[in-house]
Structure 1
Amino acid sequence: MATLLHIDSSVFPTGVSSSRSVAGAFRSAWEEQHPEGTVIYRDFATAPVPHITADAHTAAFTTPSERTPEQAAAFAARVELIEELEQADAILIGAPMYNFTVPSTLKAWLDNVILPGRTAGEMPSAQGTPVTVVASRGGSYRPGTPREDCEFVLNYLEAVLKGTLGLDVDFIVPELTMAPRKEAMSDLIPLYEASRRRAFEEANTKAKELAQRLGA
């Protein structure tokens, strides 16, 4: 049975958060294809993982028998997250753009699961696992837009998820999500609505295609 690791990092609830809503559509389509599968769900708004500490970092380079109790406990928490990553057949991440980058809670998770010699290095332990990222944003940062130079989400996640962890990365990008809420962006509402429709369509299609790819 297939296992999906689903991570939400938006601070807002599903009715308000585009990343949660689109990721939820992906998950629903996935579960239709995998009715007996497993979903490991982490909501970083309600249960954030700890930010990396000196004990959690140094424990990785310390012989287990020589670790302090603090190092052992911190490293055990990292291993739990790492094992979830390694056991997943597919990964789904809701990654809204906050102040031009990813939420700090998502960064904390990445800092915990990146472990040289295991998940990172010449043979990453989760190499090739497909990951779908719903990268929502209030404006547009596509090439040719005024703020294209402020795109620090897609390029960062591409470098970390693909370049470091060796995952097979795919993005769904709902954009202009602030258009219905900001009067100055009201002219962009039709583009927002089109982007939202496209994102939900992609979520449904990509989930089903991934299920077929994994042999559902």
Structure 2
Amino acid sequence: MTTILHIDSSARPGSSGAQAHGSHTRRLTARFLERYRHIDSEIEVIYRDVGAEPPAPVTGSWVHAAFTPPAMREPWMVDALAQSDALVDELLRADIIVAGIPMYNFGPPAQFKAWLDNIVRVGRTFGFDRSRPGEPYWPLLADAGKQLVILSSRGDYGYDPGQRLEGINHVEGSVRSAFRYLGVTDAYGAAIEYDEFADERLARSITGAERATDRIAETIAAARMAAGKTRAAWL
């Protein structure tokens, strides 16, 4: 059974198309799940709404606790990492991470960044050993077969590679970089643009992003089902 970690990070409640001023990214993540289930209904979904309930940001105490070996942690350190441990556990269980990440001031929302800071964890999602020859850091999720889907939205337009505002888009690039650091390199994405224009260009962008989201869900689901059948044939 495939496990999907579904993350919404928009500050807007509800979904565009269903509610006035609803979130475009919530619309796309819900669509991904709907399309995926149409192909493979045997899935487990872990839902985390960091837009409505943001994780606590990383503090100095958090860093102190995270870089203390588990066997040496004091009770307060365990408490400081409790939420982070829960978030990491969800990530480790997931085969697919579907994240709705709107662009806020050219980057991810602060609430998503707080989630990201909590799951980039030494000893759990990346390794570190200062005495290790060569590179002292290494990914711990490289062989886990995880896939990342980033579904975004933007008020302006032209943020994709080669377009007019590519250089100030710090959403997909920053998130993909963090996941590559952990060893998750298989990534997909779609985005709605023109939100602030609220005209036919927005309508066309929504249609295009929905179609792209459908294709991503279909591609991943079909490949995973085929891989599962292949494994079963060898058993």
When normalised by structure 1's length, the TM-score is 0.88
Segments of structure 2 that go 5 or more residues without pairing to the other structure are 17-21, 127-136, 227-235
Bigger shift: residues 88-97 or 193-202:
193-202
Structure 2 matches for 1:162-173, cutoff 5 A? 162=180, 164-167=181-184, 168-173=186-191
Task: Tell me the equivalent position of 1:184.
Answer: none
Task: Tell me the equivalent position of 1:135.
Answer: 152
Cα 1:149–1:36 change in 2 (3 A) is closer
Does the alignment pair 1:77 with 2:83? yes
Mapped to 2, the partners of 1:63 and 1:27 lie a distance apart of 38
Mapped to 2, the partners of 1:148 and 1:90 lie a distance apart of 26
Secondary structure, aligned partner of 1:156: helix
Counterpart residue type for residue 161 of structure 1: F
Deviation of 1:76 (Å): 2.5
**Kept in 2: contact 1:136–1:174 (CA 8 A):** yes
Does the alignment pair 1:6 with 2:12? no
When normalised by structure 2's length, the TM-score is 0.81
Mapped to 2, the partners of 1:144 and 1:44 lie a distance apart of 30
Does the alignment pair 1:124 with 2:140? yes
Secondary structure, aligned partner of 2:174: helix
Task: Tell me the equivalent position of 1:174.
Answer: 192
Deviation of 1:65 (Å): 4.1
Structure 2 matches for 1:16-35, cutoff 5 A? 16-35=22-41
Deviation of 1:105 (Å): 0.7
Cα 1:170–1:74 change in 2 (3 A) is same
Task: Tell me the equivalent position of 1:150.
Answer: 168
CA RMSD, Structure 1 to Structure 2 (Å): 1.8
1:43-63 Cα offsets, whole Å, 9 max, x none, are 112221111122222212213
Task: Tell me the equivalent position of 1:44.
Answer: 50
Deviation of 1:6 (Å): 0.3
Cα 1:26–1:37 change in 2 (3 A) is same
Segments of structure 1 that go 5 or more residues without pairing to the other structure are 181-188
Secondary structure, aligned partner of 1:116: coil
More strand by share: 2
Question: May I ask how many residue pairs the two structures share in their alignment?
Answer: 206
Counterpart residue type for residue 62 of structure 2: A
Counterpart residue type for residue 129 of structure 1: K
Bigger shift: residues 97-106 or 117-126:
117-126
1:45-88 Cα offsets, whole Å, 9 max, x none, are 22211111222222122133432322111223212111111110
Counterpart residue type for residue 139 of structure 1: D
Deviation of 1:19 (Å): 0.7
**Kept in 2: contact 1:92–1:132 (CA 8 A):** yes
Counterpart residue type for residue 2 of structure 1: T
